[in-house]
Structure formats: structure tokens, C-alpha cells
Structure 1
Amino acid sequence: MPYLLAAEADKIQDFIFRSSRLREVVGASQLLTRFCRSIEDTLAKQYNGQVVVNDGGSFRVIFDDVRQAIDFGNDLSELYRLTLGGSLTVAEPVEMNDDFADANKNAAERLRWGKNRRQGVMVEVHMPYVAFCESCGVGLAERRDRLAVRNASRHRYLCATCQIKAKERDRGLREFLGAVYDAYAKKAEIPAHIKPDWPEDADAIAELDLSGRNYVAYLVADGNGMGQLFGSCDQHQLQQLSQGLSRVLSESLAVPMIAFRKQVPAQAAMIPMLPLILGGDDLFALIPAPYALDIARRFCLEWEKCMQMLVNKIGLHNVPRPTIAAAVVICKGTYPYTLAHRRAKALLEDAKRQSKLLAAKTGEHLSAVNFEVILGNRLAGINEADGDQVIQRSLRPYWVAENDLSVGALQHGIDLRHLLAQRYALKDL
């Protein structure tokens, strides 16, 4: 009898964000992507496993023997620890009958049970009178070296993990961002011999703020109702959906950046974005501030179109129209990206809640965009932390739609397109 094994990396964002420099964040994302993709041709093949999902730190693998499944899970967890320095939860194998969807649901429940009841602890080696890593501030430094980056003027103390992330970034970003660049280069008609010029850090994107105020924007996005979509899949459909999600995300992000390239041709040499997390339906990217809301709107529309094509291609029926929620945080280039991400996630929850409310009351499915501008370097969301009820005049989140909104949708929000049109009309005042 076949068995389904579910495994998932723990605290992925903690691993990716445990560095102060964006180049190491990108390196961590690529390291995770490369690890997931390598499992199918290495460890899974060794144990005769059939990989269904291996993306974004999540795994679903089918085995003919329960012993093989258990041994694979043990080796996968140890390999993840040795390679990335973190932990990975492996659920007990689930027996598969004819209903793959039911087995996948049971595997997900066992995985949640395992995550909530982890045994044992992981400790950092600690000794007094030693240097801590200047990037993450947590690990013990192993060496003092100058990073291989533009304008690297001084040596830094770095731990082993941050060194690996930096080296991963230096080796190129083909595994992590290859799909984004391929879509971008194809639409921009960039010759094949030209190497991608990704931004090094937020300062490079801040230069695209032609007002000279050095603002940047962080875009966070997450698909709506993805649990229902995954729950409707059989084994073959789940495999196709898992493989297609990253491609949809990459192509959807490339489209608005081409529009930016045409609008600001003087800045066309460098790719005007830097994805930091790009997996499944999750996105966290650094983009130019002046066009951030229009980029978010175009991204959502393109994601809806590409996702609908994917759903039709794999034969999923009787599922809601694919929509996505997005949040934009506009801030200074020097603002900590971790704080921007935390604020963006809170705004994203508001956008997702609004989309669910609209679907529940009217049966209509629309994408939504929320945003906030952080002036200077103040802490975002400080009113919410006070515990006091603060009423803020706002029309956010905004709907994203290709055509005019219905009466039901207008009762719950307005079209982002109208906000952008009004903002453009007032740009010279």
C-alpha cells in the first residue's frame, strides 16, 4: 500500500530574515529554493519516492513502503539542518487509498500536530569574549571579511549561516529568480547575452525615486482561498498546481515591471525590482515607490489572468475565481525591511478579510490592495499597539478590477484605478 509523507520547514521567514542585508535575504531564498528542487533527484530517488510537492519549504512525497517513508523523513530533516541550519517537521506517513485528496488532508493534519508538539530544543553555541555576526546579530562570527559587493568598504564579522547566504547570492540568482528574469527579458526583448543586473540593496531602488526623497516600496501578496483550491486537487492536479504557482507569480511580477521600464526608460539598465520571497503564491518584493500602487494593481490583474489559465489547464472545476490580496508599504530606503514586512503582513490581512467579506455577502470575488506610507523612520502601526480603539478615516483596502465594479462591491470599497487616476490629476499641485 502506498504512503504519503508530508514535511515542512519550520520558521522559514526567521531563517530568511535573519540577516540585516538584503543580498543575504535573497541568498537565503535561493538557498531554500535550490534545496527543495534538489530533493527530487537526490534523496527522493534514493528511497524510490515520488515527489508531488517540493517548493517553498513544503514537501509531499509518496512511497510504496512505510519504512522507506520514515527513513526518508529522518534523512530529509537531518539534511535540512546540515544545509540550512534550521529545523524541519516531518509528519507520520499516511496510508493512501484511492482518494488522494483525503490522504493529503490527513497528512496536513498530522503535520500541524507535529509542528505544535515538537520535542527537544535547538541551542546556539555561546562563549564569552567572542564576536557576534554583524549581519544577523545572533550567530557567533567565524571570520572577519569584506563582502563581495559594490562599494564594500570595510570588513565585517560574519557567522557561518550568513556567509553561506552571501556566497549563494554571489553565485548568481538563476535558481531563485530565473523564471522572473526570463519573463522580464522576453517581454523587454533583452538579448540573451546580457547578464541580469539585479539591485544590490534598497539604496539602488531608492535612486528610482526621482523626487530625491529616497523612498522605496515593499510589496507583499498572497492568494485568496488557496486552501480550498488545494483541497479540490487529486494527486496529478496538485503536482501541476504546485509546479505552476511559482511560474504564475514570476510572470505576473514581470508584467508591471515592463510597464515601469517603458515609463522610465532612463532607468532601464538595472532590473527595477528585487524579489526577496518568491514561492507558491507568496511574494515579498522591493519595488520603486513612485509607481508602487500601479505596479500592485497590474500585478494582481495579471496574476488573476495567469492563475485562471492554470486552473483551467489542470481541469479544476467548481472553484471560485482566483483572486489575490496585496499590500504595499512605502518607506525610506533605510527603513528596516523586517519592520516593513511585518506592517505589510498586517495590512495584507485586512485586504484578505475584505475580500472574504465581499464573497460572503455578495458571492463576488475580487482582488484587494491595501497600502500605507511610513513617513521618516517612525514605527508603523503604533496606534494599534496601544490597545486603544483608534478610528482612522480611510477607504482602504481598494478593489482591483478590469471593468467597472458592481453595486455590491462599491458598497464595500472603491476601485484602486480611480485613486490612481485622481492622484495623477493632482500630481502637479
Structure 2
Amino acid sequence: MYYCYLFEAKSIQDYLFQSNKLKDVIAASERLDRLIDSTKDSVLDQVLKAAELESDLLNRDVNTEHTIHFLRCKGGAFYAYCQQQAPLVSLRSAWTLTLSQLFPSLIYTDALSEAPSLKVALDKAMAGLNAARNTPQVNFPLSSTLIERYSRTGNGVVPLSSLAQRACVKDEFKNDSALDIDTELHRQAYQAFDMRETAALQDRFTPENRQGAIRYPIDFEKEFAFSGPQLKRKHQREAIKDMALIHIDGNGLGILLRQLKSALKDQSDTVYCQAFRDFSEALNKATVAAARIATEQVYQHVIAENDFYEACITLPMRPIVLGGDDVTLFCRADLALDYATTFCCAFKQESERALVDVFKRYLSDSGLFPYITASGGILYHKAGHPFSHSHHLVEALCDKAKVLTKSVYGTQSNKVGPAALAFYRVSNATQSDLSQLLTQAQTFSVGEDQRLTVGQSSYFVEPLSTTEADKVKDGRFLQQLRDLMPQEGSVTPVSMAKWRQMMTAIAQHDLDEAKRIYHRAIELCLDADAIATFKSALQQLVPKDALCHEDWYWQLTGGEDGKMKGYQSFINDVLIVHHFEPALLTNNVKGDTPCSHK
């Protein structure tokens, strides 16, 4: 008989950002990073040792009927099985007790199953896990109306421990006299682990040859460089406090796991376990490698930007999450798009490199691409924007990018779509969802019963291959937006100032004025070659078979009746990308980037 125990932490982003204070976010992310891993420093390993349970977490050669075998132990989740029930029951009891003590309000799901074979037991456990996701849970600890509440989270306050008291003495915490239990535990960790200087999570973002040479800010007001040295005056630097929250998630993980499961259906349980464990380790390796490559890009930019070299440099970015195929971080606004595109391109290459053995051994005849891709969202906002209002929007942007990714091969295909990114600029705190914001901010009435949407938000990271381009009507990618921007030493018929004037006219519901501004700009340009190049770039952004009323907007149709659904353009997208484009640096030597088109 085989027994399976599956565990997954849920709503991690909500948990991380609940206090809306950066140092609590840092402490929570570092603590969660140490929760589940195949290392001796992880909480999972400490629980196994405390419960005196035998496992292959650290030594995969251990194999007895009482050994707990792990198929996955990364990214806030672990899947385990054993040929005896008692070890898994003990693990479940000890693990959930530990979790309730270390992370009291963290939401999680778990399931325990049994079956004559490992594969059937795992299927039953997965079904139980899915059922648990849809089962309402009571969050502990409960707070009655008579309990004082912590103003930032609304949860009941608890007395401060000595460690938390010492952390609260610091300038950044001096106004906090009472905390809820989770925040109190974060403050303890912040003090005990000395997170001002060292942290395990940030080391995984740091290139190996830069360990000790890179620091990350813990205070956005005092340590985060929002602008480069090109702005000399203090009031200029103070005015530009834009930053970005980036969230990137892998594509095609479910497809690959289904194919792997199918390929292993006739294999032994040992091979089955080894294959999934190898896949989990390889995926984590690819994510870490891609994050380090993207961080190196930021490092090189800062070095070139400041034209100096110091033994230790504080980068304008702050790692938040790195687990499995999931990455979340804050980044200086003008560097965010380059970071995200570099990560996506590197992730494709690194996943192919890390998964080569998995494909060679188990998926050689699967017909799958030998890699997976990643898509994500970038939310631009001011430094003071509440974190609690940011993470749900950046996750929605990530979902929007994934919709574009899936448009290439569809949801029923076993092909992984290309990487895509979606971005949006928010100017005020809001609890509205992304679709409402896009409707309110980017859709304008331009005539009787006609509306013009001035942005598409999501774009492919790289140009599509010929095969991929044949499958979609809209193959837009980021470089096409940059092709419309002024280039050094070249003429651009429609300047960014003209695009902004057109945007203002559209916002005032005057489409005719926007057309006049555009045509006047084209008429005033005396360079015929520049006009031809510019219009060619415009055509690249228009979907196939779209009915164009002008070079810069087109008609939308949809539904079974094929009736007109309004107009679409890209003006807001090009304005956002241009606004947050990094300064042109003549001495900037960034090095090679995985994105071939850059």
C-alpha cells in the first residue's frame, strides 16, 4: 500500500503584503523562503528531524519502507509518499502544528490519501488537494470584537516579545507599539536574522561572482535610488519616485507535468519519484539562473550610469519571491521592462539547459518544446503606493500576459506559447480590478456609440517564429513600440509630444483633432524615407486582417455576428514605454542579453 501527503501554501502574495510595510514584506518573504527546501536549513528538514522521521530530503539514496520520499519540495509546496501510513500521519501532525506556530494566518491546503499503487495514490491526493482549495477555511487566530486590533492588518494585537521590541526601537518601527501575531513574528525574524545585511532569498537573485558586492535596499525612502545621476538637483530626484512591481510566472508547467506523468505511467515507483524530483530541482535551478542574469543587467546599468566602481553597490531593486517558476520583486521604474524581458529570455534558455536530462530520459518522444517560457506583469506606481493595492493588479497583469501567450497554440495544445509581458501605470490607490481600471483609464467615447481603447497592455517579449506568426492574427511584440520612439541620429515623423497631444484630444473625445495632429506631423516631415520606415513600423502593430481607419488605430470586431465592437490603438502603451525608458548612456556596456532582438 502507498500513502501520499501533499501540501501547498496558498495566497502567498496576500500574506506577504498584508502589513503594507517593506521591512515586514522582506522578513515574511525571507521566512517563507526558508520554509520548504531540500536543504538542512529549511523548516521542513527541521520538522522531519524533530519528529525523528526518516526521509530522502537531503540524501536521495535512503530507501526503506518507512522512508518518506519527496517528489517535490520547492516553492511553498511539497509532495511526499511512503509505504507506511504512520510516518506521513506524524509528518502531517508535526508540520501543521509548526505552521500554526510560525505562520498563524497563512492559508494552506493539504491532503492525505492511500492506494495500492503510487500513481493512484498521487491522483487521489491531488483530487483531495483540489477539493481543499474550494473548501472554506476558518482563519486562526480568531479576533473577537473585544480584542484590540493592529491598524495595518485588522488582526488582533499580541504582546511584543523581547526580539520584536528591539526591532521596534529602530527608527523604521518606532511608531509601532502593538502588532498582530504574524507581524510580531516577522519583526522577531528581522531582528534575529539581521536582515539589514544578510538574507538567503536575496543571495539567490545575486550572481555568484557578485556575492558580497551587491546589496538590496530595505528602505525605499532612504536607500532606493529612484533616478540616476543625470538628474543633478535634489528637487528633480525627489519628484521622480517611480518604481515598478514585477511578477513573472512560468508557462506550460501543467502541460509538461501531464506529459511527464503520462510518459512514466509504466515506470517503477522509484523512477517515477526520481523524475518528478529531478524536474522540481531543474525548474528551480532555471529560475535562479534567469533571476541572476537579469540582476547582472541591472548591476551593469548602475555601474555604467554612475561611472564608478565600489566594493559594494546597493541596486535599485528588492527581491520579494523566488520559488519554483515564480518571481516577484520591486525595481526602479526605468529598469523594470529590461529586467523582465531579460528574465523571460534567460528563463527560456536556462530551462532548456536545466531540463535537458529530463527530456532525454523521459520525454524524448513527447513532441514538446524542450523548454518552458515565462510571462509576467509590470505595475508602475509611485513609491508611496500601498503594497496591498499593488499585488492583486500585478497578478492580474500576469494573467493578461498569459492570455496572449495561450493565444498562439490555444489552451488544449501541448505546445508552450512564447513569453509575454503586460504593463500598466497606476496613479492612485484603488481596489478596482484590472479590467475596470483599463476601461476607465484607456477607453474613450469618440462618436455616437463608438469607443476607442488606447492601449493593448500585453505584448510578446520577442518576435514570433514563422510557424507561431501563422497561428495568430496579432503578433505584436515590445520592440515594435520602441521602433516608434525617437532614435539618436534619426528623424521621427511623429514625436512623443505629438502622441501625447493626440492622447489628450482622444481623452477629450475629439478624434478628429487627434487625426489632424497626426497628419500635420506627417506633412511637416520632409524625409520620405523616415516616413516610409515609420509607417512600416506602424503596420507591424496592426493585427492581420484588421480594418484600419488610420495608420494608428483599427476597428475591432467580435462575437458570432462579427459586428463592430469599437476601435483599438496602442498610443498609451508607447507613451508608457517611452516614459520609463532608461536614459541613453554612451558609456553603458551592458554585455550580451539573452534577448536576441535587443
One fold, TM greater than 0.5?
yes
Q: Which moved more, 1:291-300 or 1:319-328?
A: 319-328
CA contact (8 A) 1:249 1:303 kept: yes
1:85 offset after TM fit, Å? 0.9
CA contact (8 A) 1:133 1:140 kept: yes
Q: Give the Cα–Cα distance (whole angstroms) in 1 for the partners of residues 144 and 255 of structure 2.
A: 45
Q: Which residue of 2 aligns with 1:74?
A: 93
Q: Which residue of 1 aligns with 2:157?
A: 140
Q: Which residue of 1 aligns with 2:200?
A: 175
Q: Which residue of 1 aligns with 2:109?
A: 89
Residue from 350, 357, 381 that aligns with 1:306: 350
Q: Which residue of 2 aligns with 1:52?
A: 71
Relative distance call for 1:106 and 1:240 in structure 2 (3 A) is same
- Give yes or no for the alignment of 1:252 onto 2:314: no
1:4 offset after TM fit, Å? 1.8
Q: Give the Cα–Cα distance (whole angstroms) in 2 for the partners of residues 273 and 415 of structure 1.
A: 25
CA contact (8 A) 2:205 2:319 kept: no
- Give yes or no for the alignment of 1:216 onto 2:243: yes
Residue from 182, 205, 214 that aligns with 1:161: 182
CA contact (8 A) 1:209 1:216 kept: no
Residue from 476, 495, 519 that aligns with 1:414: 476
CA contact (8 A) 2:247 2:395 kept: yes
Which structure has the larger Rg over C-alpha atoms? 2
CA contact (8 A) 2:252 2:417 kept: no
Is the partner of 1:36 in helix, strand or coil? Answer: coil
1:50 offset after TM fit, Å? 2.0
1:330 offset after TM fit, Å? 0.7
1:373 offset after TM fit, Å? 1.2
Relative distance call for 1:91 and 1:22 in structure 2 (3 A) is same
Q: Which residue of 1 aligns with 2:35?
A: 35
Structure 1, gaps ≥5 residues long: none
| 1:84-126: CA deviation from partner (whole Å, max 9, x where unpaired) | 11354331223362x64x5433321111123333566634244
Relative distance call for 1:96 and 1:322 in structure 2 (3 A) is farther
Q: Give the Cα–Cα distance (whole angstroms) in 2 for the partners of residues 400 and 3 of structure 1.
A: 43
Residue from 206, 213, 216 that aligns with 1:198: 216
Paired amino acid for 2:350: C
Q: Which residue of 1 aligns with 2:133?
A: 115
Q: Give the Cα–Cα distance (whole angstroms) in 2 for the partners of residues 380 and 247 of structure 1.
A: 36
Q: Give the Cα–Cα distance (whole angstroms) in 1 for the partners of residues 222 and 480 of structure 2.
A: 30
1:281 offset after TM fit, Å? 1.1
Q: Which residue of 2 aligns with 1:18?
A: 18
Q: Give the Cα–Cα distance (whole angstroms) in 1 for the partners of residues 275 and 141 of structure 2.
A: 40
Q: Give the Cα–Cα distance (whole angstroms) in 2 for the partners of residues 96 and 42 of structure 1.
A: 30
Q: What TM-score, normalized to structure 2? A: 0.63
| 1:339-358: CA deviation from partner (whole Å, max 9, x where unpaired) | 22111111111111111111
Relative distance call for 1:412 and 1:374 in structure 2 (3 A) is same
Q: Which moved more, 1:252-261 or 1:42-51?
A: 42-51
Residue from 359, 366, 372 that aligns with 2:424: 372
- Identical-pair percentage: 18
Q: Which residue of 2 aligns with 1:62?
A: 81
Relative distance call for 1:92 and 1:152 in structure 2 (3 A) is closer
| 1:227-252: CA deviation from partner (whole Å, max 9, x where unpaired) | 12223253212112222333322221
CA contact (8 A) 1:205 1:288 kept: no
CA contact (8 A) 1:33 1:55 kept: no
- Give yes or no for the alignment of 1:262 onto 2:323: no
Q: Give the Cα–Cα distance (whole angstroms) in 2 for the partners of residues 226 and 415 of structure 1.
A: 23
Structure 2, gaps ≥5 residues long: 55-67, 232-236, 262-271, 444-451, 488-495, 497-577, 584-598
Alignment of 1:340-419 (within 5 A): 340-360=390-410, 365-375=417-427, 377=429, 381=433, 384=436, 390=443, 392-401=453-462, 407-408=469-470, 411-419=473-481
Relative distance call for 1:401 and 1:73 in structure 2 (3 A) is same
Relative distance call for 1:145 and 1:420 in structure 2 (3 A) is farther
Paired amino acid for 2:156: G
1:392 offset after TM fit, Å? 1.9
Q: Which residue of 1 aligns with 2:550?
A: none
1:277 offset after TM fit, Å? 1.8
- Give yes or no for the alignment of 1:236 onto 2:274: yes
Alignment of 1:256-335 (within 5 A): 256-265=294-303, 266=306, 269-315=313-359, 316-317=362-363, 318=366, 319-320=368-369, 321-335=371-385
1:275 offset after TM fit, Å? 1.6
Relative distance call for 1:205 and 1:106 in structure 2 (3 A) is farther
